[in-house]
Structure 1
Amino acid sequence: MITDFISPHALRGQVAFITGGGSGINLAIGRALALLGANVGICGRTAERLDAGRKLIEAAGATVFTAVADVRDEIAVQDAVSACGEALGPIGFAVCGAAGNFVAPAEAISPKGFRTVVEIDLLGAFHAAHACFEQLRQTRGSLLFVSGGQSYVPFAYQAHVGAAKAGIDNLMANLALEWGRYGIRANSIVPGPIEGTEGMNRMGGADAAAIWKAMTPLGRMGKLEDVANVAAFLATPLASYISGARIAVDGGQNLTGSHVFNRAIGEALDASKGEAR
Structure 2
Amino acid sequence: MASALMRRVSAFKSDLIMPLAYLHRRFISCGPKVLSQNNLPQAGFFLPDEGVMLPPGSFKNKVAFITGGGTGLGKGMTTTLSTLGAKCVIASRKLDVLKQTAEEISNQTGNKVYAVQCDVRDPLSVKACVDELIDVAGLPDVVINNAAGNFISPSEKLSANAWKTITDIVLNGTAYVTLEVGKQLIKAEKGAAFLAITTIYAESGSGFVVPSASAKAGVEALCKSLAAEWGRYGMRFNVIQPGPIKTKGAFSRLDPMGTFEKSLISRIPTGRLGTPGEIANLAAYLCSDYATWVSGAIFRMDGGEYVSMAGEFNLLKKVTNEQWSMMESMIRKTEGS
Alignment partner of 2:274 out of 219, 222, 226: 222
* Alpha-carbon offset, residue 83 of structure 1: 1.2
Q: Report the 3-state secondary structure (helix = DSSP H, G, I; strand = E; otherwise coil) of the residue aligned with 1:242.
A: coil
Tell me, in whole angstroms, the C-alpha distance in 1 between the residues paired with 2:55 and 2:76. 18
Alignment partner of 1:5 out of 39, 49, 53: 53
Tell me, in whole angstroms, the C-alpha distance in 2 between the residues paired with 1:97 and 1:64. 17
Tell me, in whole angstroms, the C-alpha distance in 1 between the residues paired with 2:131 and 2:155. 38
Instruction: Count the aligned residue pairs.
Output: 259
Q: Does the CA contact (< 8 Å) of 1:31 and 1:56 recur in 2? A: no
Question: Equivalent residues in 2 for 1:41-190 (5 A)?
Answer: 41-58=89-106, 59-137=108-186, 138-190=189-241
Does residue 249 in structure 1 map to residue 301 in structure 2? yes
Does residue 209 in structure 1 map to residue 264 in structure 2? no
Instruction: Please provide the CA RMSD for this pair.
Output: 1.7
Q: Which residues of structure 2 form unaligned runs of 5+?
A: 1-20, 22-49, 312-337
Alignment partner of 2:242 out of 187, 191, 209: 191
Q: Does the CA contact (< 8 Å) of 1:145 and 1:168 recur in 2? A: yes
TM-score where L is the length of structure 2:
0.74
Tell me, in whole angstroms, the C-alpha distance in 2 between the residues paired with 1:218 and 1:3. 20
Does residue 36 in structure 1 map to residue 88 in structure 2? no
**Identity rate, percent:** 31
Tell me, in whole angstroms, the C-alpha distance in 1 between the residues paired with 2:76 and 2:205. 27
Tell me, in whole angstroms, the C-alpha distance in 1 between the residues paired with 2:69 and 2:91. 6
Tell me, in whole angstroms, the C-alpha distance in 2 between the residues paired with 1:63 and 1:136. 22
Tell me, in whole angstroms, the C-alpha distance in 2 between the residues paired with 1:24 and 1:158. 20
Tell me, in whole angstroms, the C-alpha distance in 2 between the residues paired with 1:47 and 1:4. 28
Alignment partner of 2:289 out of 237, 246, 252: 237
Query: In structure 2, do the counterparts of structure 1 residues 134 and 154 end up closer, same or farther at CA, with 3 Å as the change threshold?
Result: closer
Q: Which residues of structure 1 form unaligned runs of 5+?
A: 260-277
* Alpha-carbon offset, residue 203 of structure 1: 2.1
TM-score where L is the length of structure 1:
0.89
Which whole-Å deviations, capped at 9, do the CAs of 1:221-270 have from their partners, x for residues lacking one? 111101111111111111110000111121111112389xxxxxxxxxxx
Q: Report the 3-state secondary structure (helix = DSSP H, G, I; strand = E; otherwise coil) of the residue aligned with 2:230.
A: helix
Tell me, in whole angstroms, the C-alpha distance in 2 between the residues paired with 1:197 and 1:131. 30
One-letter amino acid of the structure 1 residue matched with residue 298 of structure 2: R
* Alpha-carbon offset, residue 84 of structure 1: 1.1
* Alpha-carbon offset, residue 155 of structure 1: 2.0
One-letter amino acid of the structure 2 residue matched with residue 101 of structure 1: N
Q: Does the CA contact (< 8 Å) of 2:190 and 2:233 recur in 1? A: no
Q: Does the CA contact (< 8 Å) of 1:185 and 1:244 recur in 2? A: yes
Counterpart in the other structure of 1:269: none
* Rg (Cα) greater in structure: 2
Q: Does the CA contact (< 8 Å) of 1:155 and 1:258 recur in 2? A: no
Tell me, in whole angstroms, the C-alpha distance in 2 between the residues paired with 1:196 and 1:5. 22
One-letter amino acid of the structure 1 residue matched with residue 242 of structure 2: P
Tell me, in whole angstroms, the C-alpha distance in 1 between the residues paired with 2:126 and 2:51. 31
* Alpha-carbon offset, residue 71 of structure 1: 0.2
Q: Does the CA contact (< 8 Å) of 2:205 and 2:214 recur in 1? A: no
Tell me, in whole angstroms, the C-alpha distance in 1 between the residues paired with 2:268 and 2:76. 22
Q: Report the 3-state secondary structure (helix = DSSP H, G, I; strand = E; otherwise coil) of the residue aligned with 1:257.
A: helix
One-letter amino acid of the structure 2 residue matched with residue 17 of structure 1: F
One-letter amino acid of the structure 1 residue matched with residue 217 of structure 2: A
* Alpha-carbon offset, residue 199 of structure 1: 1.7
Q: Does the CA contact (< 8 Å) of 1:69 and 1:76 recur in 2? A: yes
Query: In structure 2, do the counterparts of structure 1 residues 65 and 221 end up closer, same or farther at CA, with 3 Å as the change threshold?
Result: same
Q: Report the 3-state secondary structure (helix = DSSP H, G, I; strand = E; otherwise coil) of the residue aligned with 2:54.
A: coil
Q: Report the 3-state secondary structure (helix = DSSP H, G, I; strand = E; otherwise coil) of the residue aligned with 1:94.
A: strand
Query: In structure 2, do the counterparts of structure 1 residues 3 and 182 end up closer, same or farther at CA, with 3 Å as the change threshold?
Result: farther
Tell me, in whole angstroms, the C-alpha distance in 2 between the residues paired with 1:16 and 1:204. 31
Q: Does the CA contact (< 8 Å) of 1:154 and 1:258 recur in 2? A: no
One-letter amino acid of the structure 1 residue matched with residue 219 of structure 2: I
Q: Does the CA contact (< 8 Å) of 1:17 and 1:81 recur in 2? A: no
One-letter amino acid of the structure 2 residue matched with residue 201 of structure 1: S
* Alpha-carbon offset, residue 4 of structure 1: 4.2
